[in-house]
């Protein structure tokens, strides 16, 4: 029984970080209808920034989300106007290829700056655990999960309690309607993309403490984030959180009770099953594409 | 008719002279060597030093006049640790780049298909890495491994050391986590078999996928089994990943052996914490301290060029170059059949010691057992190659 509780605890803690990464991708998809394949590379950029700052200053890598998120916000803003905007006005496949190209460029730049060696930030608590009722709760995972919850809460507040958030939701519901009520849709798209990348920057700082990473580690995260977004429902932030916890718990249970060899296949199985059984995801709305885009 | 035959003879001679792998010392242009390496992707950290090892060998070779009196060029393509890309790269090197000679790529995963491309084109293929048994069980005639022994012999020094321990100090139980990889699979299987013969009982044995980054559940299962010994089939960052997860579980085995990862001296100590490296064991093919001819020169050249000492991977690439060089110099041509025949029949002096191969291209040497001691990766067995103190056992508990 302790074994099951321990496994579930691992899953839930990791699920918090998954939720942040997937919500960032889902925000961009929900507003712009773009699957941003550069999100994994942006996660890694956040991780390398946090790692370097931790090395240079000794500051806690988790607190450095306060630096990596704004830094990646700027990166998102610039890359949106340089690359993504032009692609999104053509057709979805072009946007997909553009963001993949952006992922390749970002990965290459990271490798040029930081090299290809794997890195891992190691603050004092990285190898310690809290012991609660016989369960080992890794401190790094607990703190990372809390920071992810705070960032997600902040994102929720921005989307639900600010004018920018209302504009974002209005554009997500229908850009033509939003334009009719005076919203600068172009700026909202840019802001949504930049916010999504900034959230990836925060997620990267969390990952820098949790797992060893290399410049190309981002590609692994793309599949994972996509599966969570598909499971939770494309465009649904709450769905992303729920999907993240379910995928993370699924991975942990598979690793513990089936085989660690199958754990990384869980996200891909999730994609196939959800697309067959409930294409709109757990909390996604089933919309007529012609009406939703009108 | 005589004119026609004369023309035909001239054409045939020209084709022979330009043909792949049949150049002679009479040619004057540079000799082109082609290789593919995973310079990006998950094992890029290991292949960068390998590329550097190739370049240090090439510089020394060209300083000494090149091969067959001709300068030598190296064309390296990036395969991103992808099997399809490595096949495409070697086909391109042979078919489009028209290279005269090949050098191998890194890892068993990539050398498995890459060596097939070389064999199909009947080109000599000296690989610096890739010791999986299945690579050498296909009857290939042009394939040669440039390390002292293959994966199946990896346990030799470690098992001999365990055997040398008094019975009360030997591990009673062992855990065998391993990445699903053609190299580590074979090595871990061999470890389990040989340690089993010494009475070491397996309490955990699981494979995980190469994409695995989260080792918490694996570490929890191992900690619950409480083995005296962990033999971990690690490939790259997974070595540090498991160690961090074990630390979080508060479980430190008495003996920890990992393949590959601990020899990546540029990132391993930082990732696990310098103090936590103490006592961790691994296998290496090469040591900077062994007195084999050319070894000190290699270490000096590499350190001068890159500002840091070479790694095991760099040395293995350099060794592959030495093997190729020895064959070409001895044969006096680029005839691939003759080069392969010569290597099958002769011993080559390299920086990892004398290498001699059987009909499969498998060398008959021994790997070295290394251990992290006081922040340095030291050779602890065999005795003749020892650079460090006696093997530290039991491994100290995690420092933090």
Q: Strand locations in chain A, DSSP E? A: 129-132, 135-138
pLDDT at B317: 97
Q: What residue of B is the nearest CA neighbor of A4?
A: B217
Q: Which domain holds residue A35?
A: 2-292
Residues whose CB is less than 8 angstroms from the CB of residue A222 and which lie 6 or more positions away in sequence, other chains included = A37, A39, A40, A103
Q: What residue of A is the nearest CA neighbor of B177?
A: A260
CB < 8 Å from A in window 286-315 of B? none
Asked whether the CA dihedral A66, A70, A71, A72 is positive or negative, the reply is positive
CB < 8 Å from B in window 51-90 of A? none
Q: What is the mean pLDDT of chain A?
A: 90
In contact, B162 and B197? CB cutoff 8 Å: no
Most confident of A177-181, A247-251, B227-231: B227-231
- Shortest Cα–Cα distance, B245 to chain A (Å): 7
CA dist A226 and A272 (Å) reads 12
Residues whose CB is less than 8 angstroms from the CB of residue A117 and which lie 6 or more positions away in sequence, other chains included = A214, B45, B48, B264, B266, B267
In contact, B76 and B99? CB cutoff 8 Å: no
CATH architecture of the domain formed by B153-287+368-385: 3-Layer(aba) Sandwich (3.40)
Rg value, chain B, Cα: 22
**What count of Cα atoms within 13 Å lies in the side-chain half-sphere of residue A84?**
31
Identify the helix (H) or strand (E) that includes residue B31.
Answer: strand B31-37
In contact, A217 and A52? CB cutoff 8 Å: no
A7 chain-B contacts, CB cut-off 8 A:
217, 220
In contact, A282 and A233? CB cutoff 8 Å: yes
User: Which of B180, B214, B398 is opposite residue A261, by nearest beta carbon?
Assistant: B180
- Shortest Cα–Cα distance, A155 to chain B (Å): 26
Would you give the distance in Å from CA B103 to the centre of its chain? 13
- Shortest Cα–Cα distance, A105 to chain B (Å): 12
Residue A236: CB atoms within 10 Å: 22
B267 chain-A contacts, CB cut-off 8 A:
117-119
CB < 8 Å from A in window 100-129 of B? none
Q: Do domains B28-151+290-356 and B153-287+368-385 have the same CATH topology?
A: yes
Q: Which two tokens stand for residue B184?
A: 């580590």
pLDDT at A92: 78
**What count of Cα atoms within 13 Å lies in the side-chain half-sphere of residue B128?**
34
The pLDDT confidence band at residue A236, using thresholds 50, 70 and 90, is confident
- C-alpha distances (whole Å) from A145 to each of A133, A142, A156, B212, B315 are 20, 5, 16, 20, 43
In contact, A151 and A69? CB cutoff 8 Å: yes
CA dist A223 and A217 (Å) reads 11
In contact, B271 and B226? CB cutoff 8 Å: no
pLDDT digits (tens, 9 = 90+) for B184-193: 999 999 999 9
The pLDDT confidence band at residue B171, using thresholds 50, 70 and 90, is very high
Q: What residue spans define the domains of chain B?
A: 28-151+290-356, 153-287+368-385
CA dist B343 and B363 (Å) reads 11
pLDDT at B264: 86
CA dist B176 and B32 (Å) reads 43
- Shortest Cα–Cα distance, B115 to chain A (Å): 25
| Contact check, Cβ <8 Å, B237/A6 | no
pLDDT digits (tens, 9 = 90+) for B247-259: 999 999 999 999 9
In contact, B152 and B369? CB cutoff 8 Å: no
pLDDT at B24: 45
Q: Which two tokens stand for residue B277?
A: 């490296």
Instruction: Report yes or no: B276 at the A interface, CB cutoff 8 Å.
Output: yes
pLDDT digits (tens, 9 = 90+) for B105-139: 999 999 999 999 999 999 999 999 999 989 999 99
Question: Which contacts (CB < 8 Å, 24+ apart) does range A73-78 have?
Answer: A73/A194, A73/A195, A73/A197, A73/A198, A73/A201, A74/A194, A75/A42, A75/A45, A75/A197, A75/A201, A76/A42, A76/A193, A76/A194, A76/A195, A76/A196, A76/A197, A76/A198, A77/A190, A77/A193, A77/A194
pLDDT at A203: 96
| Contact check, Cβ <8 Å, B221/A126 | no
DSSP count for chain A of H helices, then E strands: 14, 2
Residues whose CB is less than 8 angstroms from the CB of residue A169 and which lie 6 or more positions away in sequence, other chains included = A159
Alpha helices in chain B (DSSP H): 2-18, 44-63, 83-95, 108-120, 156-164, 182-197, 216-225, 238-249, 268-272, 295-306, 312-331, 336-345
Range B36-56 average pLDDT: 91
| Complex prediction ipTM | 0.84
| Contact check, Cβ <8 Å, A120/B250 | no
**Angle of CA points B45, B48, B54, to nearest 5°:** 150
Would you give the distance in Å from CA B149 to the centre of its chain? 10
Give me the torsion for CA of B55, B61, B62, B65, rounded to 10°: 180
- Shortest Cα–Cα distance, B349 to chain A (Å): 31
| Contact check, Cβ <8 Å, A118/B240 | yes
Q: What is the pTM of this model?
A: 0.84
Q: Is the pLDDT of residue B4 over 60?
A: no
| Contact check, Cβ <8 Å, B44/A14 | no
Instruction: Report yes or no: A177 at the B interface, CB cutoff 8 Å.
Output: no
As a three-state string, the secondary structure of B369-380 is EEEEECCEEEEE
CATH architecture of the domain formed by B28-151+290-356: 3-Layer(aba) Sandwich (3.40)
Residues whose CB is less than 8 angstroms from the CB of residue B209 and which lie 6 or more positions away in sequence, other chains included = A260, A261, A262, A263, A264, A265, B179, B180
Task: Label residue A221 exposed, middle or buried (CB < 10 Å: 0-12, 13-18, 19+).
Answer: buried
Asked whether the CA dihedral B244, B249, B250, B253 is positive or negative, the reply is negative
Could you tell me which residue, A42 or A281, shows the higher pLDDT?
A: A42
Q: Is the pLDDT of residue A2 over 70?
A: no
Counting the structural domains of chain A, the total is: 1
The pLDDT confidence band at residue B36, using thresholds 50, 70 and 90, is very high
């Amino acid at each position: 029984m302790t074994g099951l509780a321990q496994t579930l605890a691992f899953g839930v803690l990791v699920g918090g970080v998954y939720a942040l990464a997937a919500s960032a991708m889902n925000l961009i998809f929900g507003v712009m209808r773009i699957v941003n394949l550069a999100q994994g590379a942006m996660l890694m950029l956040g991780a390398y920034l946090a790692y370097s700052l931790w090395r240079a200053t000794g500051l806690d890598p988790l607190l450095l989300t306060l630096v990596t998120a704004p830094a990646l916000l700027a990166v998102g803003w610039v890359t949106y106007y340089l690359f993504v905007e032009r692609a999104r006005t053509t057709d979805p496949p072009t946007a997909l290829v553009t963001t993949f190209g952006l992922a390749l460029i970002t990965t290459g730049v990271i490798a040029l700056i930081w090299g290809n060696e794997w890195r891992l930030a190691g603050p004092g608590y990285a190898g310690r655990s809290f012991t609660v009722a016989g369960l080992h709760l890794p401190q790094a995972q607990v703190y990372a999960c809390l920071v992810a919850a705070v960032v997600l809460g902040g994102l929720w507040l921005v989307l639900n309690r600010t004018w920018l958030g209302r504009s974002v939701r209005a554009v997500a519901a229908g850009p033509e309607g939003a334009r009719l009520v005076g919203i600068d849709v172009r700026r909202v798209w840019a802001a949504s993309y930049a916010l999504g990348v900034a959230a990836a920057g925060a997620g990267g700082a969390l990952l820098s403490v949790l797992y060893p990473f290399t410049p190309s580690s981002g590609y692994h995260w793309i599949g994972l984030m996509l599966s969570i977004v598909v499971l939770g429902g494309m465009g649904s932030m709450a769905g992303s959180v729920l999907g993240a916890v379910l995928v993370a718990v699924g991975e942990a249970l598979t690793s513990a009770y089936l085989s660690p060899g199958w754990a990384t296949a869980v996200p891909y199985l999730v994609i196939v099953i959800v697309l067959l059984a409930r294409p709109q995801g757990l909390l996604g709305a089933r919309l007529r594409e012609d009406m939703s885009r009108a | 008719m005589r004119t026609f035959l004369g023309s035909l003879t001239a054409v045939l001679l020209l084709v022979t002279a330009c043909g792949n792998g049949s150049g002679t010392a009479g040619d004057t242009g540079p000799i082109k060597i082609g290789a593919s390496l995973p310079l990006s992707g998950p094992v890029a950290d290991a292949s960068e030093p390998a590329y550097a090892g190739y370049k240090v060998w090439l510089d020394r070779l060209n300083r000494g006049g090149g091969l067959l009196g001709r300068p030598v060029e190296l064309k390296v393509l990036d395969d991103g640790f992808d099997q399809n890309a490595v096949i495409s790269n070697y086909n391109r090197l042979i078919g489009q780049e028209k290279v005269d000679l090949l050098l191998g790529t890194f890892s068993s995963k990539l050398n498995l298909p890459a060596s097939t491309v070389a064999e199909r084109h009947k080109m000599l293929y000296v690989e610096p890495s890739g010791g999986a048994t299945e690579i050498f069980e296909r009857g290939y005639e042009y394939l040669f491994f440039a390390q002292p022994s293959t994966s199946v012999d990896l346990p030799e020094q470690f098992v001999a050391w365990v055997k040398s321990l008094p019975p009360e100090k030997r591990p009673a139980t062992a855990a065998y986590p391993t990445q699903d990889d053609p190299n580590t699979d074979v090595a871990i299987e061999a470890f389990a078999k040989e340690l089993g013969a010494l009475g070491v009982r397996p309490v955990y044995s699981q494979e995980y996928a190469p994409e695995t980054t989260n080792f918490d559940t694996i570490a929890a299962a191992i900690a619950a089994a409480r083995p005296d010994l962990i033999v971990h089939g690690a490939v790259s960052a997974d070595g540090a990943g498991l160690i961090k997860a074990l630390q979080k579980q508060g479980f430190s085995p008495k003996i920890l052996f990992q393949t590959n990862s601990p020899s990546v001296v540029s990132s391993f100590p930082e990732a696990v914490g310098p103090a936590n490296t103490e006592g961790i064991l691994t296998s290496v093919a090469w040591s900077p301290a062994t007195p084999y001819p050319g070894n000190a020169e290699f270490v000096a050249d590499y350190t001068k060029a890159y500002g840091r000492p070479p790694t095991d991977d760099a040395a293995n690439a350099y060794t592959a170059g030495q093997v190729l060089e020895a064959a070409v110099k001895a044969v006096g041509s680029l005839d691939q059949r003759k080069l392969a025949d010569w290597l099958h029949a002769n011993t080559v002096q390299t920086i990892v010691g004398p290498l001699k191969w059987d009909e499969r291209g498998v060398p008959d040497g021994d790997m070295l057992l290394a251990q992290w001691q006081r922040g340095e990766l030291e050779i602890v067995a065999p005795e003749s190659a020892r650079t460090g103190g006696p093997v530290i056992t039991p491994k100290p508990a995690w420092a933090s």
